[in-house]
A = this chain, B = another copy of it.
Amino acid sequence: MARWEPGARERLAQAALELFARQGFEQTAAEEIAQSVGLTERTFFRHFADKREVLFYGQDRFVSLFLDALAAARADATTLELIGVAVRAGTTMFNDERRSYSRLRQRIIDANPSLQERERHKLAGLAQAVAGMLRERGIDALAATLAAESAATVFAVAFAQWIQEGETRSFDEIADHVLAELVSVTATGVSR
């Protein structure tokens, strides 16, 4: 049995981000990441299924934020209110201290198609999990899917804005604005 390495996962994730940013994702091997924090490649792959996964560390907790908030929402909440609850729950992971980390991470992802694919896969997984929770709340399958996809879209669009250079508004403030705009875009009888 390999010995337990306290905080190994966090150290690997942090080292990976720095190496990817400095020399590129493709140019950085798992072994190099591990060695930079005094660990072995084998330890790396005990914590992460592949090199891409290291950038999606914390995804389970992220999805749980959405699901826990939805489970706790008022029984008579409308689907729109539930979309708002889900999005706002997700934003709690992204405070101002995290913004520069998120910017750096996104630059790495944007530079690599395989990482973009993994990110879309994760977002699709989030939407599926949210739809499942909405169905558990008694919302029919079609409405649950559409509400979940809308929540994922609002989250993703707000996130992209939040990490823009020069953007100073909080994630919450941006998310509220994006959700209000989605309501406007899909409203009937509204002329522009």
What is the interface of chain A, defined by CB distance below 8 A to chain B?
A: 76, 78-80, 83, 113, 116-117, 120-121, 124, 139, 142-143, 145-147, 149-150, 153-154, 157, 178, 181-192
- 30 of the cross-chain contacts (CB-CB < 8 Å) are A78-B192, A79-B184, A79-B185, A79-B186, A79-B192, A80-B185, A80-B186, A80-B187, A80-B190, A83-B185, A113-B121, A117-B117, A117-B120, A120-B121, A120-B124, A139-B192, A142-B157, A142-B178, A142-B181, A143-B184, A145-B157, A146-B153, A146-B157, A146-B185, A149-B157, A150-B182, A150-B185, A183-B187, A186-B187, A187-B187
7 cross-chain pairs, A with B, having the tightest CB-CB distances, nearest first: A117-B117, A149-B153, A79-B185, A120-B120, A186-B186, A146-B185, A146-B182
A184: chain B residues within 8 A (beta carbon): 79, 143
Q: Is the CB of B192 within 8 A of A146?
A: no
Chain B's nearest CB lies how many Å from the CB of A30?
21
How many Å lie between the Cα of A116 and that of B120 in the bound state?
10
Taking CB atoms, residues of chain B closer than 8 Å to A183 are: 186-188
List the number of copies, as a whole number.
2
A120 to B149, CA, bound (A): 13
Most chain B CB inside 10 Å of its own CB: which residue of A83, A117, A121 = A117
Closest Cβ–Cβ distance, residue A148 to chain B (whole Å): 10
Q: How far is the CA of A184 from the CA of B79 in the complex (A)?
A: 9
Q: Select which of B124, B153, B192 is within 8 A of A150 by beta carbon.
A: B153
Q: Are B78 and A178 in contact (CB under 8 A)?
A: no
Closest to A158 in B: B142
Set of chain B residues within 8 Å of A121, measured between Cβ atoms:
113, 116-117, 120
Residues of B within 8 A of A181 (CB): 142-143, 146
- Cα distance A155–B86 in the bound complex, in angstroms: 23
